[in-house]
């Protein structure tokens, strides 16, 4: 039992970064929702980007297992990119990925409410797979920010700055042990469970 717990344990600094990142994600979703209600035009570019991305997937007409693996591959790529963005020093690019996704999600909730679909429908269409998917996204962005801090610290020659190689290894392990399985579960739920729940609210 201890071996399993140790296997999945995150390094303390990465765990702390994940907690901060998850909180920021929740706050930014609320901000996106408020902005979407107050100024719908401000959130339209993100919604258009989401529709275009979803349209590309739908155009391939996948279904069943094919759709699940397409969603899985798409999410894994996005999350791996968010983590790797941390190799760019000082800019904290993973925060941009986190912010865009959070504002989009909040804006989408506002869109549902403004168009008479209701928040219940929004939650039914996002919450089943969103719990695991957003957890994976928050960890991916946290890993990127954690990596960015290490790279920046080394370049600035800060005392006690962690090794970039060690930090990158910790991020990769978090990706394999946590993000990958969470993304797989999310894709399966989104393909087979979410549609069944969502159709009850239409």
Query: Comparing 201 with 149, which gets the higher pLDDT?
Result: 149
The more confidently predicted of residues 6 and 69 is 69
**CA-CA distance, 68 to 75, in Å (whole number)?**
11
| pLDDT digit string, tens, across residues 120-131 | 999 999 999 999
Q: If you write DSSP's letter for every residue of 132-177 in order, what string do you get?
A: HHHHHHHHHHHHHHHHHHHHHHHHTT-TTPPPHHHHHHHHHHHIII
- The pTM of this model reads 0.93
Instruction: Give the residue with greater pLDDT, 42 vs 157.
Output: 157
| pLDDT tens-digit series, residues 135-182 | 999 999 999 999 999 999 999 999 888 999 999 999 999 999 999 999
Q: Band of the pLDDT at 3, cuts 50, 70, 90? A: confident
pLDDT at 7: 87
C-alpha neighbours within 13 Å on the C-beta side of residue 31: 12
For the chain, what percent of residues have pLDDT higher than 70?
Answer: 95
8 A C-beta contact, residue 136 and residue 75? yes
Q: Which of 8-12, 26-30, 43-47, 109-113 has the lowest mean pLDDT?
A: 43-47
Helices (H), the chain: 2-8, 12-38, 40-59, 64-84, 93-114, 118-155, 164-174, 180-192, 194-198
| Mean predicted lDDT score pLDDT of the chain | 92
Position 79 pLDDT exceeds 90: yes
45's tokens: 């570019």
Q: In the structure, what pLDDT confidence band is assigned to residue 59 with cuts at 50, 70 and 90? A: low
- Phi, psi for residue 163 in degrees, rounded to 5: -65, 135
68/86 Cα distance (integer angstroms): 28
pLDDT of the residue at 134: 97
Query: Which residues, 6+ apart, have CB-to-CB distance to 113 below 8 Å?
Result: 37, 119, 122
């Amino acid at each position: 039992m201890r071996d399993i717990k140790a296997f999945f344990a995150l390094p303390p600094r990465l765990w702390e970064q994940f907690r901060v990142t998850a909180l920021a994600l929740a706050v930014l979703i609320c901000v996106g929702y408020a902005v979407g209600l107050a100024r719908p035009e401000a959130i339209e570019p993100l919604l258009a980007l989401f529709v275009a991305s979803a349209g590309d997937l739908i155009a391939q007409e996948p279904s069943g297992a094919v759709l699940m693996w397409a969603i899985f591959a798409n999410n894994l790529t996005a999350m791996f990119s968010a983590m790797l963005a941390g190799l760019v020093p000082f800019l904290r690019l993973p925060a941009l990925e986190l912010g865009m996704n959070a504002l989009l999600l909040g804006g989408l909730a506002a869109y549902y409410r403004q168009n008479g679909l209701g928040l219940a429908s929004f939650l039914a269409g996002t919450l089943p797979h969103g719990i695991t998917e957003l957890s994976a996204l928050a960890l991916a962005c946290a890993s990127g920010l954690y990596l960015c801090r290490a790279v920046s610290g080394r370049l600035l020659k800060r005392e006690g700055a962690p090794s970039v190689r060690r930090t990158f290894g910790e991020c990769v392990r978090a990706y394999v042990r946590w993000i990958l399985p969470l993304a797989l579960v999310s894709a399966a739920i989104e393909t087979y469970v979410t549609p069944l729940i969502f159709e009850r609210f239409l």
